[in-house]
Structure 1
Amino acid sequence: MTRLDRSFHALADPTRRAVLAQLTGGEASVSQLAEPFAVSLPTFLAHLRVLEEGGLIHTRKQGRVRLCRLATGGYAPLQEWLEAQRQLWEGRSDRLAEFVTREPES
């Protein structure tokens, strides 16, 4: 599985997307991140592992506390892929519009 695949896999789950949204406010401990969710700690840690494998977050241990933060540049592969898709589909849409509005040849 490529990093892009792992990133999209990480974003596929609403819990993981919510964790990413929480982290936009800055670094947070695992317990702070897990608090809003009604899941067991092992299940929540599995979500964090998927996010980290997807390159979207970094974790580090400080004493007995594990801290999480958004990964710098973590969204770059996703943005590049989405931009390529946008250009592809805009080009196709432009060609379709040109075809539809073209004057019929006599």
Structure 2
Amino acid sequence: MRAAAEQGYKVYLYFVSTEDPEINKYRVALRVRKNGHNVPSDRIESRYYRSLQLVKQASELAYQAFFFDNSIDNEPYKLVGHFKRVGTEKIWYPTNINDTSNWFRKYCI
């Protein structure tokens, strides 16, 4: 991302998360029951928090960023935040902040 941004490319970030790593663990368990591949529980959790720790840094390189929450089973993911960079400023497009996810408020704003 950094190299592309430094070369003048408009970098877009699409980030999808869930409210809790337990959701991800549950979904992996469902996948395994359908003969899908397994991921160890500790690895799911470490990746979950590592990605949240890195998302703000990644968004600093983005021309536009879109943040989606995929916490609710059997419902489409929802856009919880979006910004476009104008010069050095981020212009946030309206979302209902009361309707946004805790992970988004904590790690992205």
- What TM-score do you get using the length of structure 1 for normalisation? 0.29
Structure with max Cα Rg: 1
Higher strand share: 2
| Structure with greater helix percent | 1
- Given the two structures, how large is their TM-score scaled by the length of structure 2? 0.29
